[in-house]
Amino acid sequence: MFLEMKNQMKHFLSIVDAKDHIDEMLDSTGKFKKNIMDRELLKGKTLAMIFEKASTRTRISFEVAMFHLGGSALYLSTDDLQIGRGEIIEDTAKAMSRYVNGVMIRARKHEDVAKFAHNSDVPVINGLTDIEHPCQALADIFTIYERKKSFDVHLTFVGDGNNVCNSLLLASSLVGMDMVVVCPSGYEPPTEIFEEAKKFARKSGSNLKITNDLEDGIAGSDIIYTDVWVSMGDEKESKMRIKAFKDYQVNIDLLNQAADDVIVMHCLPAHRGQEITASVIDGEHSIVWDQAENRLHAQKAVLYKLLG
């Protein structure tokens, strides 16, 4: 199933950073899940975790992953750091990389994480930015393969063309999986992300599409994926977004248009009654909790790859 390691990976800021390592990291994820990898692989190593945004799955999965691998993790909010009082990112990165073996950042702006990585002597991991969520995408494609035993499937993302959608587009294009993004006009993924994904798709054979037509995007879908309509930082647009997305809810009627064995995914947190109904997320087609669990195993693969 999986290929050999190629070029060295220094940071994990985008899922594209793992383009030569996807197979290897998926393989490691599976081994960690089956408990057939050494539990002391990162013994004595330390991960600094910087959070500008709230987190449940990202914080817990990274902290537990480091513990399981024999290392330790430091939780740091911006209020805990001088960066919250005006120290420039470059200085924080240079100093912090003298103390720890790696840094994971959950930030508002992707450019800040890129700047931090440029000035860091240790690996930097993107725990979420406004542009990408590569750790989520890695866990997601592992979960899809785990369930479908193939990437020869059709994934439909319903909703906002946000950071999760961006990383899924890129991940799908790297592994050769077909993906359609179905969203209201004006909420499409950034053109530059879609063009980059199409570049990889030409090599992998992946078919990618963006449409505003829900019926067209759902027909025959093997996987339906959705996310919140109002992401962190978009709260001021809440009323406008809920109105724009009201016809893009993942519900039973929508599932009936997809494949009989369709699976439903959501990166969480979910707002039942908005982007997805309770009967779907808690129903027989949902694999949301397996998907959430796999964040832990995928995080171990990322940490082992960069810090091991």
Identified catalytic residue from 140, 227, 249, 299? 227
Query: Is 136 a catalytic site residue?
Result: yes
Active site (annotated) includes residue 133: yes
Only one residue has tokens 């063309």, namely 161
Angle between helix 288-307 and 22-33 (nearest 10): 110
Which residue out of 267, 291, 297, 299 is catalytically annotated? Answer: 267
Helix, coil or strand: residue 299:
helix
Rounded to the nearest 5 degrees, what angle is found at the Cα of 60, between the Cα atoms of 73 and 179?
Answer: 120
**Are 131 and 163 spatial neighbours (Cβ–Cβ below 8 Å)?**
yes
Identify whether 227 is a catalytic site residue.
yes
From the candidates 11, 57, 106, 266, which is the catalytic residue? 106
Active site annotation includes 291: no
From 57, 241, 266, 295, the catalytic residue: 295
Q: How many of the other CB atoms lie within 10 Å of CB of 167?
A: 28
Among residues 136, 249, 291, 299, which one is catalytic?
136
CA dihedral of 252, 254, 258, 262, whole degrees rounded to 10? -50
Of 21, 133, 285, 297, which residue is the catalytic one? 133
Q: Taking the CA atoms of the chain, what radius of gyration do you get in angstroms?
A: 19
CB 175 within 8 A of CB 208: no
**Segments in 260-287 forming alpha helices (H):** 278-281
Strands 124-128 and 154-158: unpaired
Cα–Cα separations (whole angstroms), residue 103 to 48, 84, 227, 294? 5, 17, 26, 21
The bridge status of strand 72-77 relative to strand 102-106 is: unpaired
Separation between Cα atoms, residue 90 and residue 112, nearest integer Å? 9
Q: Which residues are catalytic?
A: 106, 133, 136, 227, 267, 295
